Amino acid sequence: MKQAAITEVSIDAKTRLCIRPKGGDFTFVYRAGMEVGWDEANRVLFGGVPREWSYQRWFEQILAAAEGECGVRLKLTPSTVWTDVPPEVRSMIEGKATDE
């Protein structure tokens, strides 16, 4: 299984969680049927708008789709940039990522 660093985690103008991996092509991630997409122009994976699911749950879903459909395990690193992510959301995501 390939691994790739997550260079950025952000919340976009549509309030979707976005993950920018370092390299890789995730064009076909939608085939996983997990409501995760790939924005080629911005080079980010994105999930749905959090209604029933939290940002933490969308983070898990995006990682699962990338791994299951594209064979890439995405990992947070100390140099991951957090853009427009509230501190409490970042803390929840980082806490879950270190639990694995």
Residue 76 contacts residue 22 (beta carbons within 8 Å): no
Is it the case that residue 100 has pLDDT exceeding 70? no
Show the domain range for 57. 2-99
Spell out the residues 6+ positions from residue 31 whose beta carbon is closer than 8 angstroms to its own.
69
Average pLDDT rounded to a whole number, residues 63-71: 95
Percentage of the chain with pLDDT > 90? Answer: 82
Q: In 3-state terms, what secondary structure has residue 75? A: strand
Spell out the residues 6+ positions from residue 100 whose beta carbon is closer than 8 angstroms to its own.
none
What DSSP element (H or E) covers 59?
helix 55-70
Is it the case that residue 99 has pLDDT exceeding 80? no
Instruction: Domain count for the chain, please give it.
Output: 1
pLDDT tens-digit map of 6-25: 999 999 999 999 999 998 88
Q: How far apart are CA 63 and CA 19, in angstroms?
A: 9
Average pLDDT rounded to a whole number, residues 52-75: 95
When the pLDDT of each residue in the chain is averaged and rounded to a whole number, the result is 93
Is it the case that residue 79 has pLDDT exceeding 60? yes
pLDDT top residue among 15 and 49: 15
Amino acid identity of residue 67, one-letter, is: E
Spell out the residues 6+ positions from residue 24 whose beta carbon is closer than 8 angstroms to its own.
2, 4, 70, 72
Domain of residue 8, CATH code: 2.20.20.40
pLDDT level of residue 94 (50, 70, 90 thresholds): very high
